[in-house]
Structure 1
Amino acid sequence: MKQSNDFERVELGFFPTPLERLSNLGAALGIELDIKRDDYTGFGGGGNKVRKLEYLMADACNKQVKVVITTGGHQSNHARMVAAAARKFGMKPILVLRGNQPEVYQGNLLLDKLFGAELEFLDPEGYFTQIEGAMNAHAATAEARGEKALIIPLGGATPLGALGYVRAIEEMDAQLKSRNQQPPQVIVAPTGSGGTLAGLYVGARQYWPETQIVGISVSAKAAWFQDKISTMAQDCADLLEWPQQWAAEDIWIEDGFVGTAYGVPSPGGIEAIYRVAQAEGVLLDPIYTGKAMHGLISLVEQGKIQAGARVIFVHCGGSPALYPFAKTLLEH
């Protein structure tokens, strides 16, 4: 059996990130609520993708990659951090984004520009049929120039990238032990591509086998995520040579909090942003963490998370996405 540290990675983030008690919100909800502050990972504006990119960029450096290509929505935290990581290692970032070319570059799009990323925009309606060909075309153009290219999938969602959240479980385990606290009964996190959840599932089964992991979908239906995450978790466990077996029914996904679409703020998500900001002084975002917190609050109110439960909410970052939606947030 291997450990996550047995795999080569570059050091990008500021770890360990804080594990902070949300006393006011927890008391109002009737649970013991902690928040894992992966918005404080630091590099490239911070967020959960830093953990994955430590492994993925080590692989890119070993392969002597010169052009890194990835995809995401307009306000993709992943795309922004890939651009930053590419620049750190002397590579050119190309981002193929879902959405029409904007009139104003704000939030993560502004940061993409600051990192000097080449941007291509795909019409949202044709995105899923065009994205693979678009990224492959950029890779072929780079290779024709004699530059080795690497395509990083949406969200960095690969078995190798998922090791970043196996490490996050190990990190939280050490933090709780240092405080003489018990493991959480529930972990809640947003899921947009599945890699974070896969790593959390693998790490928790190894270290906290009684802990339930709840993924709050910000994009797709539960069944799609269950299939994808169970497969990725299996492949990640196999990398580690851990004797784990995963099936789709092992994965708990709540898909009722997406709102009208991925990348579009939801009323419940906006309410959660206001509530957490005013209860704890913590900023969530309207694309990922606001919707996930809406899910957590609702699951407590519905009794799916029991009163008094020990809960950790994983803050995946994303505050740059607040600013493009200022008008929507203020009108709510």
Structure 2
Amino acid sequence: MMGLPGGCLMIVLKANKKRKAMTISREELKERLAQLPRLQLASLPTPLEELKRLSAHLAGPQIWVKRDDLTGLAFGGNKIREFEYQIAQAVEQGYDVLVHSAAAQSNQSRQTAAVAAKLGLSAVVVGRDDAHAQTQGNLLLTHLFGAEVDLPAPEEQAQAVAAKMAALTAAGHRPFHTSSDARIFRSVAYVDGALELLAQCEEQGVAPAAIYLCSGAHTHVGLVVAFKALGVDMRVVGISPSPRDDREAAEGHLALARECAAVLGLDLSLKVEDFESYAAFVGPDYGVVTPEGREALHLLAQQEGLLLDPSYTSKAMAGLLAHVRAGWWRSEQSLIFLHTGGTPALFAYAKDLGY
């Protein structure tokens, strides 16, 4: 795993640890972000749109969607925003191969391959021969972007990734794994994303009580760090796409948040309770369509013409819908749903969705 490159750390505050952490202005936070290397990959800002028909259908709070599925490159998604900061580290340090390994229909594999193509780098994807390994959706796009693709059996994937990284290094290449190398800069990217969102909320007169998102780690962490740094009172409600213990997930997010804050020289009082994440909507496993996710996917498509994906955003929306129906939120409140993308996977899930 890469460490933080020299020159990228901001000034770390060294005052008495007992003093209370202070908030900073948006302008100061922007200045700190501006000192970091950054690529221009995404079409920003992404829209903030009101979901009027969905809100009326639920007879609950006003629901808005932040369209990070529209970041532009390679059918968009949150990773394109994150890669502006993360892969900037690879470019700065002369890495020449972008590597990723996950499920056959991985959104991040697709986006890794696309960014490599745009930057003139090589891409290697070590997926796995799972239930959705047909050449469709994200896997088709990964091939189209020119990546070298290998799909070993799931139990052989970890060994195959290690072997490929070693072989690339032995051949004189410098491979950069987009899941692990300089990973904290993916959280940093959503500190910037939070600034963009807050400006849009002010422009449109939206005062959200909470923002919902599918929470793996980095997008969630970046939002919390930004809101803490700015003194913004907004709940960030994460819905996990994978089975995990909610408390352990929060502890992991806390560790990442402290690392992210250190990169930006932020003196924050962070605690595990700041990270709200629920694994109750995962279903049997990652990537398995649930009845609640299927209902959310159909509801958004038919009420708003808005497409969700089967593994991430449909489950996050299922969580939001369940909380609204359970009375978590009043009708006069507003909620934002952060759409993190992933829709190309739909084309590999027709049977799972009942078609």
Q: Please give the TM-score of this superposition, normalised by the length of structure 2.
A: 0.86
- Residue matched to 1:21: 50
Cα distance in structure 2, aligned partners of 1:5 and 1:299: 37
* Residues 1:141 and 2:167 aligned together: yes
Cα distance in structure 1, aligned partners of 2:86 and 2:210: 28
Matches within 5 A, 1:273-312: 273-312=297-336
* Residues 1:265 and 2:302 aligned together: no
82-91 or 218-227: which moved more?
218-227
- Give the CA deviation at 1:122: 4.1
Cα distance in structure 2, aligned partners of 1:187 and 1:135: 35
- 2:103–2:130: 8 Å Cα contact kept in structure 1? no
Please point out which of 220, 223, 239 is paired with 2:243. Answer: 220
- 2:210–2:234: 8 Å Cα contact kept in structure 1? yes
Q: Deviations over 1:145-164 (max 9, x none)?
A: 1111112226x882211111
SS in 1 for 2:136: coil
- Give the CA deviation at 1:202: 0.8
Please point out which of 65, 71, 79 is paired with 1:49. Answer: 79
Matches within 5 A, 1:190-269: 190-191=214-215, 193-207=216-230, 209-221=232-244, 222-269=246-293
CA change 1:17–1:102 in 2 (3 A) is closer
Matches within 5 A, 1:48-127: 48-100=78-130, 104-124=134-154, 126=155
Cα distance in structure 2, aligned partners of 1:13 and 1:103: 28
Cα distance in structure 2, aligned partners of 1:98 and 1:142: 19
Cα distance in structure 2, aligned partners of 1:141 and 1:105: 26
- 1:234–1:245: 8 Å Cα contact kept in structure 2? no
SS in 1 for 2:349: helix
CA change 1:206–1:28 in 2 (3 A) is farther
Please point out which of 168, 171, 194 is paired with 2:193. Answer: 168
Cα distance in structure 1, aligned partners of 2:312 and 2:231: 25
Cα distance in structure 2, aligned partners of 1:207 and 1:313: 21
Amino acid at match of 2:50: R
Cα distance in structure 2, aligned partners of 1:234 and 1:48: 21
Cα distance in structure 1, aligned partners of 2:222 and 2:213: 12
CA change 1:149–1:242 in 2 (3 A) is same
Amino acid at match of 1:40: L
- Give the CA deviation at 1:76: 1.2
Q: Please give the TM-score of this superposition, normalised by the length of structure 1.
A: 0.92
Cα distance in structure 1, aligned partners of 2:129 and 2:328: 35
The runs of at least 4 aligned residues of structure 1 exceeding 6 Å deviation read: none
Cα distance in structure 1, aligned partners of 2:194 and 2:57: 26
CA change 1:152–1:97 in 2 (3 A) is same
Amino acid at match of 1:211: M
- 2:296–2:318: 8 Å Cα contact kept in structure 1? yes
Cα distance in structure 1, aligned partners of 2:171 and 2:210: 50
CA change 1:101–1:176 in 2 (3 A) is closer
- Give the CA deviation at 1:269: 0.5
Q: CA RMSD in A?
A: 1.9
Amino acid at match of 2:324: V
Cα distance in structure 1, aligned partners of 2:310 and 2:131: 20
- 1:202–1:233: 8 Å Cα contact kept in structure 2? yes
- Give the CA deviation at 1:328: 2.2
- Give the CA deviation at 1:185: 0.9
Cα distance in structure 1, aligned partners of 2:330 and 2:313: 21
Cα distance in structure 2, aligned partners of 1:329 and 1:289: 14
- Give the CA deviation at 1:102: 6.2
Cα distance in structure 1, aligned partners of 2:160 and 2:268: 36
Cα distance in structure 1, aligned partners of 2:212 and 2:101: 25
* Residues 1:8 and 2:8 aligned together: no
- Give the CA deviation at 1:278: 0.9
SS in 1 for 2:352: helix
Name the % identity.
Answer: 36
CA change 1:101–1:328 in 2 (3 A) is closer
Which of the two has higher C-alpha Rg?
2
- 2:86–2:184: 8 Å Cα contact kept in structure 1? no
CA change 1:94–1:287 in 2 (3 A) is same
- Give the CA deviation at 1:180: 3.4
SS in 1 for 2:205: coil
- Residue matched to 2:184: 159
Structure 2 gaps, min length 5: 1-10, 12-28
